[in-house]
Amino acid sequence: MIELKEYISNFIVPQSLIADEQPWEITDKLKKIIVQLIQMLDTEFEIANGIAIHKSAIIEKHAVLKAPFIVMKNAVVSANAYFLEGVIIGKDTKIGQGCEIKSSIIGNDSAIAHFNYIGNSLIGEKVNFEAGSIAANHYNERAEKEISVKYKSKIIKTKAIKFGALVGDGSKIGANAVLSPGTLLSKNAVVKRLQLIEQVREYD
């Protein structure tokens, strides 16, 4: 079993809402989790139609927010960012222009530069995605779609066909790098520009 604290020290979602769920199970159920979490938020949030925005957060023009969705304290969402259902943006986090994020949690004090895609992923605190970097969530090119992850030299079959990445606190993802589905990055990991991370290949 993967322990989230090995990767993310201060997970945004209370333990009571995720129990012992694995990362791919959390992203799969994230819409339901966010609906419950919104009910626990205080009056510092403006809540309407399944969308909760902290009063100190900045949402620039033409950003598309689809419920359920939460933006925490002092976060900034830039113009033309696009959020599909089931996203949490942590406090002091910056989402750059033209990003698309789906069924994911972006941890506190992180930065997703611009023109990034992050799908079905859990991103830790103080993580930086440079421009154009991607956390892919689906194996379009494979006949076998089930995603596996590599954890402590063992291969775990997730039974999921959509899961992106678990990215540890303090990690840095270089411009135009790609995290293949099922990527697990330890705390303070560094991915070089243009690098492809493919931890579980078809022949594994």
What is the CA angle 182-90-71, rounded to 5?
115
Amino acid at 176: N
Read off the amino acid at residue 200. Answer: V
Q: Which of 54, 62, 114, 138 is catalytic?
A: 114
Asked about 114 being catalytic, the answer comes back as yes
Tally of CA atoms within 13 A in the half-sphere of 135 that contains its CB: 31
Closest residue by Cα to residue 116 from 191, 56, 57, 43: 191
Ramachandran area for residue 170 (φ above 0: left; ψ -120 to 50: alpha; else beta): left
Q: Where in the sequence numbering do the catalytic residues fall?
A: 114
